[in-house]
Structure 1
Amino acid sequence: MRIATYNVEWFDALFDDSGQLRRDAEWSARHKVTRADQIAALGRVFQALDADAIMVIEAPDSNRKRNTVVALESFAKTFDLRAWRALMGFVNTTQQEIALLYDPDVIAARHDPQGALGVMPAPRFDGTFHIDLDIDATEDKVNFSKPPLEVAVISLATGAEFRLIGAHLKSKAPHGAHGHDEVMRFSIANRRKQLAQAVWLRARVAEHLNRGDSLILLGDLNDGPGLDEYEHLFGRSSVEIILGAEPPRLYDPHAAQALTRRIGDQPTSARFYIRPEHRYLQALLDYAMVSPDLRPKAQRWRIWHPFEDAECWETPELRDALLCASDHFPLTLDIAL
């Protein structure tokens, strides 16, 4: 079975209110990329992935006028994808939903949120988490702007049951800040909130692992060990918190490599243009973490990086599509389930 996660930059801007693709020559929300070109590139990438399930991060918006499921199923039909059925969880207000595209001939999937509102240590993800963020003996209230998607899955071929959690943690970028001091304040505040979300997510992971559930946590965690200068203030990255400090721990080989090799080549899953510096920044932000019982069944983790993955590099059409489609690259997990 192949399970993927893919953060599609401004996927929402490619659809009209009826959920149909806007395949025209107007600019998309990506810099100097038309809607038609981004749509074609995404179709090429999704077809190449040929995944049984794709956790779509920054999926099209749901609101009174727009519907994530309709839009994603329209996209899947346009490109004749096996994974044509869409499922989503709690709607958010960011225009960046979390949704699952899957092949209904391979798996059965349903939204299955855990926890209860306001009940610690792991409340339901559309609720509020209480934690002392700044060590002032006062509890702060933390929310997910994009509540993680919890899915109960059954493999139709084997009957194996497992769970997926799709996550998109808060960005640490100091958006709206002006001047060095404000950038520092915003960055520290954003990292503090992201770490609180990671603690909340880890609490849910621990519940599953302690019950012996088979679990895959995947998505854009917007963090990795050593990614910014403020990490030392808090001791650990969000990725390390979610993986767990003690058994039972989750496992992702790219995260493990980044944690053990702070200098030298690192896997990366995203590529951003830093305009003031006229250069690109690459980072490892996307993960597929598995529970201990699934680790022996995992056959291959692969980041479809246009420059670092040999097959992608040697396939010009796919390489160009990956660069055009999004600022993140898909990650796939091949696993025997």
Structure 2
Amino acid sequence: MRFACYNVEWFDRLFDDAGKLLNDGGWSGRRDVTRAQQIAALALVFRKIDADAIMVIEAPDDHADRSGTRALEGFAEAFGLRTSEALIGFGNTTQQEIALLYDPSKLSAVHDPIAALDDAAAPRFDGAFHIDLDIDNREDEVTFSKPPLELALETARGTKLRMIGAHLKSKAPHGARGRDEVMRFSIANRRKQLAQAVWLRARIDGHLGADEHLMLLGDLNDGPGLDEYENLFGRSSVEIILGEAGCPCLFDPHAARALARKIGGAPTTARFFLKQDNRFLQALLDYIMVSDNLRAKAKSWRIWHPFDDPECWENESLRNALLTASDHFPVTLDIDI
């Protein structure tokens, strides 16, 4: 089977309130890209990766007046994708949901949050987690702006697994003015992100302790060496979620490669334009992590990078579509389950 994780930048802006595609010349949420251009690019990319299930990060908005599942299922129908069913868990107010788009002939999926809101060690993800972020002997309350999506899956072969889709808080100092405020915002955002990672890891420990098959897919907005504040805290969110040596751990080969290298090239899954520097920044932000009991069944991980993946580079239409569709690139895992 093939699983994918794909952060689609401002997917929501491609649909009207009825969930119909706005396939026209109006501007999308992408820089200098029309809605029609982004839609065509996404259709090509989704067809090409041909996954059995895609964890869509920044999926269309889902609330009383808009249906993210209707929008995703309409998108799949419009372009003949076999991933014809969509599932969203706890909604949020960011217009960027976490959703699973999947092929119902290959697997079944249900939203299955397993913790109580008042569970102190690992509350349900639409609740609040209490932790001392700044070592002042007072607990801070941490919430998810985008609560992780917890799923119970069963493949057509009968393999049962737990799946978590996650989109951790960005560390970017949005709204900060001046060097001092940028520093304060960046440090505060990193503290909150690390707290979210600790919360997520607590849930992971429960699954691994029960020897369940577990897969975590998402944009963690973090990785080794991404900013100058990382050394203040000792570990990245990615390292916390993967787990420490000696305990049950998750595995992602791209994360392992990046963590093992202090200098030199590392995999990347996202490409952003920095207006102030007039250049592009590349980063490893998107992951598919698996438990040890799934690792032996995993065949290959792949980042569909338009410049680093030979097939993507050589296929001009695919290369251009990847660059037009989003500022992130899909990550896929082929696994025998």
TM-score range, shorter chain: over 0.9
Equivalent residue, structure 2, for 1:256: 256
Equivalent residue, structure 1, for 2:119: 119
Matches within 5 A, 1:220-231: 220-231=219-230
Shift of 1:65: 1.1
Equivalent residue, structure 2, for 1:99: 99
Task: Please tell me the residue identity of whatever aligns with 2:237.
Answer: S
1:176 and 2:180 aligned: no
**Partners of 2:64 and 2:335 in 1: CA distance:** 38
Matched position secondary structure for 2:16: coil
**Partners of 1:262 and 1:46 in 2: CA distance:** 34
Task: Please tell me the residue identity of whatever aligns with 2:176.
Answer: A
Task: Please tell me the residue identity of whatever aligns with 1:332.
Answer: T
1:166 and 2:152 aligned: no
Matches within 5 A, 1:260-271: 260-271=260-271
1:51 and 2:51 aligned: yes
**Partners of 2:114 and 2:264 in 1: CA distance:** 40
Root-mean-square deviation (CA, aligned residues, Å) is 0.5
**Partners of 2:303 and 2:114 in 1: CA distance:** 29
1:334 and 2:303 aligned: no
User: Runs of 4 or more off by more than 4 Å in structure 1?
Assistant: none
Equivalent residue, structure 2, for 1:198: 197
Equivalent residue, structure 2, for 1:185: 184
Shift of 1:183: 0.1
Equivalent residue, structure 2, for 1:148: 148
Matched position secondary structure for 2:251: coil
**Partners of 2:111 and 2:333 in 1: CA distance:** 21
Unaligned runs of at least 5 residues, structure 2: none
**Partners of 2:11 and 2:278 in 1: CA distance:** 25
Task: Please tell me the residue identity of whatever aligns with 1:219.
Answer: G
**Partners of 1:213 and 1:65 in 2: CA distance:** 37
**Partners of 1:146 and 1:276 in 2: CA distance:** 28
Shift of 1:194: 0.1
Shift of 1:64: 2.0
Task: Please tell me the residue identity of whatever aligns with 2:86.
Answer: A
Equivalent residue, structure 2, for 1:213: 212
Which string of whole-angstrom CA distances, capped at 9 and with x for unpartnered residues, describes residues 150-188 of structure 1? 1100011x2110111000000000000000000000000
Shift of 1:10: 0.3
Identity %: 68
Shift of 1:84: 1.0
Shift of 1:131: 0.3
**Partners of 2:136 and 2:182 in 1: CA distance:** 23
Task: Please tell me the residue identity of whatever aligns with 2:133.
Answer: L
Contact 1:167–1:218 (8 Å) recurs in 2: yes
Task: Please tell me the residue identity of whatever aligns with 1:125.
Answer: F
Contact 1:118–1:129 (8 Å) recurs in 2: no
Matched position secondary structure for 1:135: coil
Contact 1:8–1:57 (8 Å) recurs in 2: yes
Equivalent residue, structure 1, for 2:306: 306
Shift of 1:122: 0.7
1:291 and 2:291 aligned: yes
TM normalised by structure 1 equals 0.99
**Partners of 2:250 and 2:183 in 1: CA distance:** 32
Which string of whole-angstrom CA distances, capped at 9 and with x for unpartnered residues, describes residues 251-272 of structure 1? 0000000000121111000000
**Partners of 2:174 and 2:180 in 1: CA distance:** 13
Shift of 1:280: 0.2
Equivalent residue, structure 2, for 1:74: 74
Shift of 1:63: 1.7
Matched position secondary structure for 1:293: helix
Shift of 1:44: 0.3
Which string of whole-angstrom CA distances, capped at 9 and with x for unpartnered residues, describes residues 272-314 of structure 1? 0000111000000000000000000000000000000000001
**Partners of 1:31 and 1:109 in 2: CA distance:** 35
Matched position secondary structure for 2:207: helix
Matched position secondary structure for 1:46: helix
**Partners of 1:171 and 1:323 in 2: CA distance:** 22
Q: How many residues are treated as equivalent by the alignment? A: 336
**Partners of 2:117 and 2:8 in 1: CA distance:** 30
Task: Please tell me the residue identity of whatever aligns with 2:197.
Answer: A
Contact 1:169–1:221 (8 Å) recurs in 2: yes
**Partners of 2:276 and 2:132 in 1: CA distance:** 36
Unaligned runs of at least 5 residues, structure 1: none
Shift of 1:31: 0.8
Equivalent residue, structure 1, for 2:13: 13
Task: Please tell me the residue identity of whatever aligns with 1:178.
Answer: R
